[in-house]
Each structure stands twice: as structure tokens, then as C-alpha cells.
Amino acid sequence: MRIAIVAHSREANASTFIKQHIKLLRPECVLAMPYLRTSKRIRSIGLEPTWDWARRFPVRRVLERYQPDVILAEYGIMGAELVATAGPEWARRVVAYFHGYDSARNDILERYGRKYRRLFEEAAGIIAVSNDMRSRLEDLGSPPERTHMIPYSVDFERFQPRSEPCAQKRLIAVGRFTPKKSPGRTIRAFSKSLRSHPDATLRMIGDGPLLAECRALGKELGISDHLVFLGAQRHDVVAEEMRAARVFVQHSVVAPSGDREGTPVAALEAAASGLPIVSTRHEGLKEAIQDGVTGYLVDEGDIESMSNKINDLLADPQSAHIMGVAGRKHIEDNYSAELIGRKLSDLLKNIGSPHH
């Protein structure tokens, strides 16, 4: 079966999950629009990049050249644009993989409302990364029989757990500083925990529009000596930081814009690293974290409860380690590359032969 993956160049170059899909599926071609330096990344894993074709010819010409049986469009927006422009023969081979903001942000839903309705009518399949997202897409008009839930997978070789409890009272947060990640609430919860654990530290990896605001918040709360901003980091650095921490924290919320998570990859990586997680009852986090078993979930905006759960784990390194071991097993059982790759491959094979 011939698979094409279509993604925006910016996302193909930066998104962990799109790189995962390329590695798992080994597609016939990867079409990134518009052209960026991504071609070097794709060529390094043995695939033929098609950006030069994309620059010179319409999408339809590219598809005619490679003749894919199924087209995996990364993000619903890309799927909607493909269905709208590539023609009916190719539209019925499109499978649109929604990832988060594309299923929820108010301005996106308003701008793409008509195109989404056409996507749901004509595409061969729709994929969500969480059960909440699947329900939301069905509410928007995606046919239940063609709407599937397939989460992300984790690189177990890179993200390895430590063999013993972590003696340090170190928290780790990984993710862009954006409203849906609500890093300010994470910092405020940590600040409260410092009253009980004045020797604790919080290390935050990532950049984004709220970074300066969060630096200022740390100073305002008087906790700058306990708060470390590491900026954006390579995956190997993230893995090392996770192995050195006791708890992963993230206070995901529905942003004022309607934006929300799909399933945060960093949370899956943290669980694979053997870390208990303190987070919120939000989208795919409810599936990635077993409340009271592999971590704790609190309501969105409940800073007090988040701080209390952090305190529990800082006070008892053995319990934190036990939760982390359970978290690793949960991820191994449900988010392995083998399992997710097989689910995605089987779905695309079913759709691609015969053409729907």
C-alpha cells in the first residue's frame, strides 16, 4: 500500500508526533507545504522528499505522480484544505489526523466550519488523539463510523525510568508556555508547595509567549531561587531532566480562545521515564494518567488541590516511585510504538484497499 503524509512544513519540522508517524509508516512520500528545510530531516531516514514538486506544481499533480492509496493529512486544517483543492478522486483517500487546537479553537472552527463539514462528508476517515476529542469531532459532524481514536506513541529507548526512588525534591515541567498549558498555574501551585517543602525546585523546559510573564511571576512570588527556566531543549536533554526529577507537573486548561490539548506528548514521555504526574482532568490526560495509581488529576484551575498532590509526592519518595513504575507499565501497555503503529497501519490499510 502506498501512503502519503501531508503536513505543513513548520509542523513536520517540529512536531514529535508527525516524526513518529513518518517513522512508523515509512510512507511513499512526505509532502510538506510550503517548502522549508525539513527535507534534510526526511532524507536522513531514507525517504524521498517531495517539496520541490510541491513548489512547482499543484498538490493534485504531486498526488498523480506518486499515486498514493491513502493520504494521511496531519491536522484537520490540512485535511480540509486537501479535500477542498485536490479533487474528489483524492478527497476520498484522505484521512485527517486532528491533534488539538484544530478541533477546538474558536477562530479555527469559525474559519473552517464549511470546509470541515465537507471534510467530514468526503474524507475516508478522521482520527482523534483522545476520546474527548473524538466526541467533540462527532458533535461537529464527523460520522461516528469513520471517526477513530489513536493516541501518540513513546520512544521507550530514549525515555527510561530510574531504578530507585528520587531523593531530590525536584519537579519537572515540559511544554510551550502557552495559555492551554497554563504554566502560571503550575508555578503558583509549586509556590504553595514550597511552604511545606522549602527545599523543592521546579525546572521548566520550553519557550513561548508566556515565558516572560512566568519569569516575572516567579520574582513576584519570591521563588526565583527555586525556579529554573531551561528554554527549549533537545529530546536527549529532556530525557535526562526527566530521569533526574521526582514528579512531572502540568496544569492544562481550556484556553480563553477555546484551544486545548490533544494528548501532551511530554506527559507520555514523563510516564515512560517513571515519573508520577500531577495534572488536570483535561482531554487525553485523563487516559494517559490513572488518577491515584500513576499520578493525580485535579480540576482545571484548582491550584490548591494541585499543590496538595505535589506535597504528597514530595513527602513520600517511595510512593512517588511506586506510582512512577505503574505509570511506565501503563504507557508500555497502551502507548508503545508497536501498538500505535499497528493500529494506525491497520486503519490506513483498511481505508486504502480498496479506495473508499
Among the listed residues 110, 80, 86, the one whose alpha carbon sits nearest the alpha carbon of residue 98: 80
For the segment 341-356, what is each residue's pLDDT rounded down to a tens digit? 999 999 999 998 765 5
Residue 267 C-alpha from the chain's centroid: 9
Helix axes 265-272, 235-243, angle to 10 degrees: 50
User: 170-334 in CATH: which number?
Assistant: 3.40.50.2000
CA atoms of 265 and 15, how far apart (whole Å): 10
Q: How far is CA 182 from the centre of its chain?
A: 15
pLDDT digits (tens, 9 = 90+) for 188-218: 999 999 999 999 999 999 999 999 999 999 9
- Give residue 156's pLDDT: 95
Select from 329, 286, 265 the least CA-distant residue to 296.
Answer: 286
Spatial contact of 223 and 198, defined as CB atoms under 8 Å apart: no
Q: What is the mean pLDDT of residues 153-175?
A: 97
User: Within 13 A of 352's CA, how many CA atoms are on the CB side?
Assistant: 18
Q: How far apart are CA 86 and CA 185, in angstroms?
A: 44
> What average pLDDT does the segment 260-279 reach?
98
Instruction: Round to whole Å and give the CA distance between 312 and 127.
Output: 37
Higher pLDDT among residues 63 and 203, named by residue: 203
Asked if the domains at 3-153+336-352 and 170-334 fall in one CATH topology, the answer is yes
Q: Using one digit for the tens of pLDDT, what is the confidence trace for 6-28?
A: 888 666 556 788 888 988 898 87
Task: Identify the CATH number of the domain defined by range 3-153+336-352.
Answer: 3.40.50.2000
pLDDT of residue 38: 41
CA–centroid distance for 175 within its chain: 10
Distance separating alpha carbons of residues 268 and 326, to the nearest angstrom: 13
Q: What is the pLDDT of residue 80?
A: 95
Joined together, the cell numbers standing for residue 304 give 490548591
Percent of the chain with pLDDT over 70: 90
Identify any residues that bridge with 94 across adjacent strands, giving them in sequence order.
71
Higher pLDDT, 17 or 169: 169
Cis preceding-peptide flag for 354 (omega within 30 of 0): yes
Where does the chain have alpha helices with state H?
Answer: 9-14, 16-25, 38-43, 51-56, 59-66, 76-85, 88-91, 106-111, 113-122, 131-140, 183-193, 211-221, 235-243, 265-272, 285-288, 303-315, 317-334, 337-352
What integer pLDDT is reported at residue 19 of this predicted model?
85
Contact 183, 210 (CB under 8 A): yes
Per the document, the length of the chain is 356
**pTM of the entire predicted model:** 0.91
So where are the chain's domains?
A: 3-153+336-352, 170-334
